[in-house]
Chains A and B, each alone.
Chain A
Amino acid sequence: MDLSYTPEEEEFRSHLREWLAKVLPTLPPKPSPDDWPGRRAYDLGWQRMLYDAGYADVHWEGTPSVRLIFLEETERAGAPYVGANFVGLLHAGPTIAAEGTPEQRARWLPPVLRGEEVWCQGFSEPDAGSDLAALRTRARRDGDDYVVSGSKIWTSHAEVADWCELLVRTHPDAPRHRGISWLALPMDAPGVTVRPLRTLAGSAEFAEVFLDDVRVPVANRVGDENDGWRVTMVTLSFERGTAFVGEVVACRRVLGELAVTARRNGRWDDPALRRRLGRLNAEFRALWRLTQWNVSEAEASGGVPGVGGSVFKLRYSHARQELYDAAAEVLGADSLDLERPWVLDRLSSLSYTIAAGTSQIQRNIVGERILGLPKGR
């Protein structure tokens, strides 16, 4: 068991640190959450800076340790998040890299790395959430095109996306997992309508996407026809892998700030509050160690994140909600004021046990795939 990094990794870290210290002060001001064109420009601009400095492909090419260091250092320095680049860098991109043809990789990957194109993820449908394989959006073959009809929901960043990784049903009579295909849908194609949905935090983070006889070239299919479910599983394992590393670092910083605030406003004198924060310190230290454990495991097994991601996600999503509940205790009545720090974060933390597979679904995965318990009838 070794927690130290190699000299090369330490060198990577110190170069990255220097670079961050140099470029972060030159960033434009952060756009407001409702300014979607502004957010797109800001997130793409940051990706472009990473590209120019040689850090753009760290999620794809770096070893798990290098990725960990990258996420740790960018968060420490207060650098922007992946934001609108999330799907391109962490879902669609890795899927295309793993399953796409050379032409597909050449067409779609460089614009993601250079911060030129935004992707969104069109998986969930009104009647297919946890039970994703129930999806009904239909793609009918017509010459060199598919003609796609149906609707998607909860599509994050749909408003500003150029492309959508879309799951469609290409074989309605096959067993449900074997009739699905993975398509790259251009969001400006005729017949695509995006209707933003406001989240409980007030901003429009996701949208409904209606597809009305949209023509998508067959050449935009990644993987074989009707093999989309397997192609998708590649993406989902990335999503639950190292996606939260930066956030754990951020949570530890927030916890420190909470303690300082509590000392200032007198709540620190309450031993119950103090112990609650002490326990959260233990929690996030442990989650950080679990991250390092999982990263080392991925490194040993060739890089693909395993089901250990479900263990992490279950605990982390809950811990994050606990953190912001503790913040509310520190703030007292101020926790009802949206202008206060942490209040919006508390609201958005509520999505963590739902998005990317609900906690119940994660527990099914752990119970069935790790512990080998039988499926219910």
Chain B
Amino acid sequence: MRFQLTGEQEALRGAVRGVLRRVAGAGSSWLVAPRGGAADGYSPAPFPGDARPGDERPRLDRGLWRALGDLGFFSLRLPEADGGAGLGLPEAVLVFEEAGRALVPGPLVATHLAAGQVPGAAEGEVVVAAADGRLVEWLEEADVVRPGAEGALPLRSVDPLTPLHRVPAPAPTDPVAVLLTAAEQLGTAARAGELAVQHARTREQFGQPIGAFQAVKHSCAQMLVRTEVARAAVYAAAVTADRADIAAARLLADEAAVRGARDCLQVHGGMGFTWESEVHLLLKRAWVRSERCGGGTESEELLAADLVA
């Protein structure tokens, strides 16, 4: 047993992190939430006229999508003969974790799962969205929607960087989609913890860094604990591909991301409550992901059934 990253896996993770930092540019351009009004969703003006958050439609950055394609983000698990890298779920989980850390927008899971089935998906030429439970992310920006989105209606998405539609009939759950979602949540949880620790080290009140106060320090410690427990669960599920392991990974990763982002917000004080800071984007994305694939309820029921199987 060597349940640690291999040298290749470490290298892959480092490379993906580097590329994401580069394509995002300094300051991660997509980490600025749209302000409403402008069609491209990136107008610097405050909400003009009647525009409210959730009305504006963020556009998917096709350049980013192709860059992800070049990186092998979508084709990673395809055999080398088909232009992929012939890698497995553990590697996929590592790159999705990085995407979650960087809050990369777009239907990443759907396009990854379409690689090799929908022409152009593997290369990042084609954007694929998927009905997942009762929701579809990025429907209007997608070139292909699987299995179809008859009767889809837009809703005012709580996450300014994830447009959502409701669909009438729920789609069945693909365990790999659950696992990759958990990996994204893991990355977001880790990011929330890092941001909180950074802030706790530098922000001073009462003449000392706030991280010296136990209430803040212990909150940061709990973020790390939740993240590391989730990490073990997500990586193990990637190795076993067992449905119960995947369900467990999902529950732990949802918790780590959602509670981590909330605690991160609290540590940031008033700054954490602003539209400007990155923190609300972490929380809102974590909320969107926790609704995927039937939500946590489905995983809890699966794990309950597993106990008496």
Q: Which of A259, A275, A279, A363 contacts B221 (CB 8 A)?
A: A363
Interchain CB contact (< 8 A) of A373 among B200, B231, B297, B304: B200
Contacts of B228 in A (CB 8 A): 290, 308, 311
Question: Which one, A125-133, A138-146, A293-301, A332-340, is touching chain B?
Answer: A293-301
Determine which of B1, B222, B305 lies in contact with A292 in the assembled complex, contact meaning CB atoms within 8 Å: B1
Stretch at the interface among B121-129, B206-214, B274-282: B206-214
Interface residue from A9, A255, A268, A314 paired with B225 (Cβ < 8 Å): A314
Contact call A1/B238, Cβ cutoff below 8 A: yes
- Contact between chains at A373 and B208 (CB < 8 Å): no
Interface assignment of A287: CB less than 8 Å from any CB of chain B? yes
| A371 neighbours in B (Cβ, 8 Å) | 197, 211, 217, 220-221, 224
| Mask: chain A, 83-113; 1 = CB below 8 Å from B; 0 = not | 0000000000000000000000000000000
Choose the segment among B35-43, B107-115, B131-139, B247-255 that binds chain A (4+ C-beta atoms closer than 8 Å).
B247-255
Find B217's partner among A1, A289, A299, A367 (CB 8 Å cutoff): A367
Set of chain A residues within 8 Å of B235, measured between Cβ atoms = 1, 289, 293
- A286: contacting residue among B5, B211, B232, CB under 8 A: B232
A259 CB contact (under 8 Å) in B90, B230, B308: B308
- Chain A residue numbers with a CB within 8 Å of B239 are 1-3
Q: Interface residues of B, CB < 8 Å — how many?
A: 54
Q: Which residues 1-18 in B have Cβ within 8 Å of A in the complex?
A: 1-6, 9
List, in ascending order, chain B residues with CB within 8 A of A25's CB: none
B229 near A290 with CB under 8 A, answer yes
* B288 adjacent to chain A (CB < 8 Å): no
From B3, B200, B214, contact of A3 by CB (8 A): B3
| B171 adjacent to chain A (CB < 8 Å) | no
CB distance from A23 to the nearest CB of B (A): 26
Please report the C-alpha to C-alpha distance between residue A4 and residue B3 in the assembled complex, in whole angstroms.
9
Any B CB within 8 A of the CB of A175: no
Question: Which residues in B have their C-beta under 8 angstroms from that of A68?
Answer: 1
A1 touches B9 (CB 8 A): yes
Chain A interface size range? 35 or more
Set of chain B residues within 8 Å of A370, measured between Cβ atoms = 221, 224
CA of A255 to CA of B1 in the docked complex: distance in angstroms?
26
B303 within 8 A of A: yes
CB distance from B62 to the nearest CB of A (A): 33
Check B201–A372 contact: CB distance below 8 A: yes
The closest CB in chain A to the CB of B209 belongs to A374
Q: Is the CB of A315 within 8 A of B229?
A: yes
A257 to B, closest residue via Cβ: B307
Q: How far does the alpha carbon of A274 sit from the alpha carbon of B233 in the complex, in Å?
A: 21
Q: Is the CB of A363 within 8 A of B218?
A: yes
B307 close to A296 (CB less than 8 A): no
Q: Which of A1, A3, A258, A374 contacts B208 (CB 8 A)?
A: A374
Residues facing B in A241-286 (CB within 8 A) are 255-256, 258-260, 263, 268, 271, 274-275, 277-279, 281-283, 285-286
A19 in the interface, Cβ–Cβ < 8 Å?
no
> Which residues of chain B are within 8 angstroms of A297 by Cβ–Cβ distance?
4
Contact B218–A360 (Cβ < 8 Å): yes
Which chain A residues border B214 with CB–CB below 8 Å?
Answer: 360, 363-364, 376
- Contact status of A285 and B1, CB under 8 A, knowing A255-B307, A373-B217, A376-B214: no
Q: Residues of B contacting A271 with CB < 8 Å?
A: 301
Task: Give CA–CA (A3, B90) in the complex, Å.
Answer: 12
Tell me the number of A-to-B contacts counted with CB atoms below 8 Å.
Answer: 179
* Minimum CB distance partner of A366 in chain B: B221
Nearest-neighbor residue (CB-CB) of B226 within chain A: A315
Q: Is there an interface contact between B236 and A278, defined as CB atoms closer than 8 Å? A: no
Binding site of A, secondary structure by majority: helix, strand, loop or mixed?
A: helix
> Which residue of the partner chain A has the closest CB to B88?
A1
Compute how far the CA of A259 lies from the CA of B5 in the bound complex, rounded to whole angstroms: 35
Among A259, A282, A296, A364, point to the contact of B2 (Cβ < 8 A).
A296
A 1-28 to B, binary, CB cutoff 8 A, 1 in contact else 0: 1111110010000000000000000000
Q: Which of B4, B221, B222, B228 has the most chain A CB atoms closer than 10 A to its own CB?
A: B221
- State whether the Cβ of A224 lies closer than 8 Å to any Cβ in chain B: no
CB pair B220–A367 under 8 Å, yes or no, is: yes
- Any chain A CB within 8 A of the CB of B153? no
Query: Does B155 touch A at the CB level, under 8 Å?
Result: no
Q: Establish whether residues A374 and B201, one from each chain, have CB atoms under 8 Å apart when the complex forms.
A: yes
* Residues in A neighbouring B245, C-beta threshold 8 A: 285
Q: For the complex, is B173 an interface residue (Cβ under 8 Å from A)?
A: no
How far is B212's CA from A73's CA once the two chains are assembled, in angstroms? 43
Residue among B209, B301, B307 with the highest chain A CB neighbour number at 10 A: B307
Cβ–Cβ contact B3 & A292, under 8 A = yes
What mask results when residues 85 to 113 of chain B are scored 1 for a CB within 8 Å of chain A, else 0?
00000100000000000000000000000
A286 x B248 contact (CB < 8 A): yes
Q: Is the CB of B4 within 8 A of A374?
A: no
> Which residues of chain B are near A274, meaning CB under 8 Å?
300-301, 304
Cβ–Cβ < 8 Å partners of A366 in chain B: 221, 224-225
B302 at the A interface (CB under 8 A) = yes
Whether A373 touches B212, Cβ cut-off 8 Å, given contacts A3-B239, A289-B235, is yes
Is the CB of B244 closer than 8 A to any CB of chain A? yes
Can you report 18 A-B residue pairs in the complex whose CB atoms are below 8 A from each other? A2-B239, A68-B1, A277-B303, A278-B300, A278-B303, A278-B305, A281-B244, A282-B251, A285-B236, A285-B248, A292-B232, A360-B218, A363-B218, A363-B221, A371-B197, A371-B221, A372-B201, A376-B208
Known contacts A274-B304, A366-B224; 15 further A-B pairs (Cβ under 8 A): A1-B90, A278-B302, A278-B306, A282-B248, A282-B300, A292-B232, A297-B4, A311-B224, A360-B214, A367-B211, A367-B220, A370-B221, A373-B200, A374-B208, A377-B208
Chain B positions within 8 Å of A, measured between CB atoms, are: 1-6, 9, 90, 197, 200-201, 208-209, 211-214, 216-218, 220-222, 224-225, 228-233, 235-236, 238-240, 244-245, 247-249, 251-252, 297, 299-308
